[in-house]
Structure 1
Amino acid sequence: MTTMLITGANRGLGYEAARRLLADGHDVWIAARDGSQGRAAAETLGARFVVLDVTDDKSVVAAAETVRTATGLDVLVNNAGIQEGRIPVSEVDAEVMGRVYDTNVFGPVRVTRAFLPLLEQSSAPVIVNVASGLGSQTVVADPERVEFHVNALAYCSSKAALLMVTTQYAKAYPGIKINAVDPGYTATDFNGHSGPQTVTEGTDAIVAMAVIGRDGPTGTFSDRHGIVPW
């Protein structure tokens, strides 16, 4: 049995990924900063639960210790993320950028660093970073793509940064399969359920990369259809 932890898994893509992975027989930790919501989600799914706020060092370290004591870890899915909302680029300041980066970039770094000792004890360690096509220069510059019409300074640049974070970790830890995925434009609370994909379709790439095992790729960026250009 493979033990997995998904951040921000009390709703949306994280919740659906947890549901699917549990159904496939994996042992899954739902990690969420809101204890009541996270615990309720875990109880509904039959998952484990740990409080984890990706913006808080002490919370992350405590969560890693809880998981270490209880089960150990094979797969980490850095899913938690936020956006700046409908703010024009001209009004995005350093405070907004910092808030978004604290969750979307520094969060995965905090969590990865804390859980690396556990992953290094696994026989087939995997890290999945949930990025976005909005972090790809090639994708956002293509008029044929829906991402071309999105102008979100903080969110888009944070996902671009997460892609490079993924690359650097993959180079530094060749024994761990570390990849980024693009869920695609999916109908969730995150976007007011405006996306054309179902939440199941949106988790296809997350689930696929979570179960690649020791022989899978590393340092890649993919969606449910295959490799995404950066």
Structure 2
Amino acid sequence: MDKRIVLITGSSTGLGLTTAVRLKKMGYTVYITSRTVEKAKKVAEEIGTSCVALDVTDEESVVKAAESIKTKEGRIDILINNAGIPGGFSKPAEIDAAAMKNVFDTNVFGLVSVTHHFLSLLEKSSFPVIVNVSSGLGSFGQVQNPDKIESKVNSLAYSSSKTAVSMLTVQYAKGLPNIKVNAADPGPTNTGENFSNGIQTLEEGSDAIIKLATIDPTGPTGCFFNRDGIIPW
């Protein structure tokens, strides 16, 4: 059986990088991505994976990345939409439409662009899987539960963008019945970048992503998981 081929957006640092390293060790053929080819090559050489330049906010970049993978592999089996930005931590009253658009360009429209242009490669797989990296901060159930850490955070742009990711997951799962499509909540993870106050390690934060990326054909679709199991939308 051929190795399963994984493409991970936003994987030159943080959770994406940790996910790439773990999947490589598990025997998967992994393509990491970064916005510049120089950064992608540097990181790929360090961890022993393949790479492609991909900026999710630049459609031409997405198309070129898809064409490159098509030429090299002919397909992908697993797409992990990990690229995302927090967009700062301003108070809701200070956030205008431009700030919202900046976050949605990466977290929402970027995800749609990548999914759209890589669908033809996923359809070449005998068992295609999509994992959308969402967040408990986009879960109505989590942010309205006073017992959850997510309820203590007020992040207008980021949270609403991740809620959109969750709905995209449900709609893709309904509209693409031959592809397993799920959302992963990494949880409050210390990425060493934008989220340095997280209480989980990168390894713990990537658990849900790994679990959903490595499901078998009997696995779920249209569901939202953290490392402990299903969470509410």
- For normalisation by structure 1, the TM-score amounts to 0.98
Residue 38 in structure 1 maps to residue 40 in structure 2: yes
The one of 137, 145, 161 equivalent to 2:164 is 161
Residue 136 in structure 1 maps to residue 136 in structure 2: no
Structure 1: gaps spanning 5 or more residues: none
Q: After superposing the two structures, state which structure 1 stretch, 38-47 or 91-100, moved more.
A: 38-47
Task: State the distance in 1 between where 2:217 and 2:193 align.
Answer: 32
**Conserved in 1, the CA contact under 8 Å of 2:31 and 2:52?**
yes
Please, what is the CA RMSD of the aligned residues?
0.9
**2:53 — aligned with what?**
51
**Conserved in 1, the CA contact under 8 Å of 2:86 and 2:194?**
no
Q: Deviation of residue 27 (structure 1)? A: 0.2
Tell me the alpha carbon deviations over residues 132-160 of structure 1, each in whole angstroms, 9 at most, x when there is no partner.
00001110011111111111100000000
Tell me the matched-pair count. 230
Task: State the distance in 2 between where 1:106 and 1:169 align.
Answer: 14
Residue 85 in structure 1 maps to residue 85 in structure 2: no
**Conserved in 2, the CA contact under 8 Å of 1:126 and 1:213?**
no
Change (3 A) 1:158 1:219: same
The one of 198, 204, 226 equivalent to 2:207 is 204
SS of the equivalent of 1:215 reads: coil
What stretches of structure 1 move > 6 A for 4+ residues in a row?
none
Alignment of 1:1-230 (within 5 A): 1-71=3-73, 72-230=75-233
**Conserved in 2, the CA contact under 8 Å of 1:53 and 1:59?**
yes
Q: Deviation of residue 190 (structure 1)? A: 3.7
Q: After superposing the two structures, state which structure 1 stretch, 174-183 or 34-43, moved more.
A: 34-43
Tell me the alpha carbon deviations over residues 168-211 of structure 1, each in whole angstroms, 9 at most, x when there is no partner.
00000000000000000011134342111110000000011101
SS of the equivalent of 2:217 reads: helix
**Counterpart residue type for residue 2 of structure 1:** R
Q: After superposing the two structures, state which structure 1 stretch, 61-70 or 211-220, moved more.
A: 211-220
- For normalisation by structure 2, the TM-score amounts to 0.97
Task: State the distance in 2 between where 1:111 and 1:62 align.
Answer: 11
Percent identity, aligned pairs only, is: 52
Q: Deviation of residue 40 (structure 1)? A: 1.4
Task: State the distance in 2 between where 1:188 and 1:34 align.
Answer: 21
